[in-house]
Amino acid sequence: MTGYISDDKRKVTTHRLIEMKERGEKISMLTAYDYTMAQIVDGAGIDVILVGDSASNVMAGNVTTLPITLDQMIYHGKSVVRGVKRAMVVVDMPFGSYQGNEMEGLASAIRIMKESHADALKLEGGEEIIDTVKRILSAGIPVMGHLGLMPQSINKYGTYTVRAKDDAEAEKLIKDAHLLQEAGCFALVLEKIPASLAARVASELTIPVIGIGAGGAVDGQVLVVQDMLGMNNGFRPRFLRRYADLNTVMTDAISSYVSDVKNCFFPNEKEQY
Ligand code: KIV
């Protein structure tokens, strides 16, 4: 077997992630939305599992992350937590559950934590949501920030292209990153921004910066697990490395099963009672 399995079998906490940044150890993070996948991802040694609102696309087939509900995120969060022993489990707060005001955000955050038993939450945005972030943090709930491409704002951007290429947007992102750190966030995700900007943010912040499409000079990487396993043939952005071609593996296995059933090759005598 190839790969990297940590000797440290202790549960990953916010403190351990900050220690990892301090000693220069990169943080590995992947999404999972269900129990079976969470068991595999955790068993393979991942540091952080994100129950992303990308479940809206990947699990439900929606075009955007906007339709997924608080109840649905809690369902996915619960399923993942049951499958995990070591990784930190972070649940995305879905669109519409925190943008209204601080008390709405706090109530949604408390529901997710109480019902899913996750370790932390992730919210998209900077200055616009900083009071909500502070309110959630004041309840003792660890918060991971998310800047750069923020899929919950897709209708504002109109495109999933690289963000913060111009100076004004880059300056705002840097300011927001500092605001989130000062508020008390334990980590920050940067999605689809120039590698040089992500490197600058990671070097200025003391909290870990996890990138997706943000280059290698950050403190860790996150990908959607179905994408990196090659389950989804239609999505091939430049930042994605496919570590397997499960689409082919699964299609071959399922078509063999169909053929065996049709030809009466399954079940055989040993596969019955
Ligand atoms: O929902 C998600 O999967 C995410 C990652 C892309 C960071 O937010």
**Separation between Cα atoms, residue 143 and residue 122, nearest integer Å:** 6
Residues in the ligand 1 pocket, defined by CB under 6 Å: 31, 50, 52-54, 92, 189, 191, 212, 222, 224
pTM above 0.95, yes or no: yes
Question: 198 pLDDT exceeds 70?
Answer: yes
pLDDT digits (tens, 9 = 90+) for 210-240: 999 999 999 999 999 999 999 999 899 999 9
Question: 261 pLDDT exceeds 60?
Answer: yes
- Domain assignments of the chain as residue spans, ordered by start: 14-242, 245-273
**Residue 108 to residues 36, 92, 114, 212, Cα–Cα distance (Å):** 26, 11, 10, 26
Atom of ligand 1 nearest to the CA of 191: 7
Atom of ligand 1 nearest to the CA of 55: 1
pLDDT of res. 2: 63
Over range 146-168, report the average pLDDT.
Answer: 96
Here the tokens at position 121 are: 């939450």
Q: What are phi and psi of 77, to 5 degrees?
A: -60, -45
Whether 191 sits among the annotated catalytic residues: the reply is: yes
CB 118 within 8 A of CB 77: yes
Return the residue whose CA atom lies nearest to atom 1 of ligand 1: 52
pLDDT of res. 8: 81
CA of 54 to the centre of ligand 1 (A): 6
Question: 129 pLDDT exceeds 60?
Answer: yes
Question: 1 pLDDT exceeds 70?
Answer: no
pLDDT digits (tens, 9 = 90+) for 68-120: 999 999 999 999 999 999 999 999 999 999 999 999 999 999 999 999 999 99
pLDDT digits (tens, 9 = 90+) for 169-191: 999 999 999 999 999 999 999 99
CB 80 within 8 A of CB 264: no
Q: Give burial (CB, 10 Å; 0-12/13-18/19+) of 32.
A: buried
Q: Which residue in 171, 191, 204, 269 is the catalytic one?
A: 191
CA of 230 to the centre of ligand 1 (A): 17
**Residue 139 to residues 102, 105, 107, 132, 235, Cα–Cα distance (Å):** 12, 11, 10, 11, 38
Atom of ligand 1 nearest to the CA of 29: 7
CA of 53 to the centre of ligand 1 (A): 7
CA of 167 to the centre of ligand 1 (A): 25
CATH fold for the domain made of 14-242: TIM Barrel (3.20.20)
> What percentage of the chain exceeds 70 in pLDDT?
99
pLDDT of res. 4: 72
Return the residue whose CA atom lies nearest to atom 5 of ligand 1: 52
Atom of ligand 1 nearest to the CA of 31: 3
Q: Which of 27, 28, 31 to mutate for ligand 1's pocket (most ligand atoms within 8 Å of CB)? A: 31
Question: 5 pLDDT exceeds 70?
Answer: no
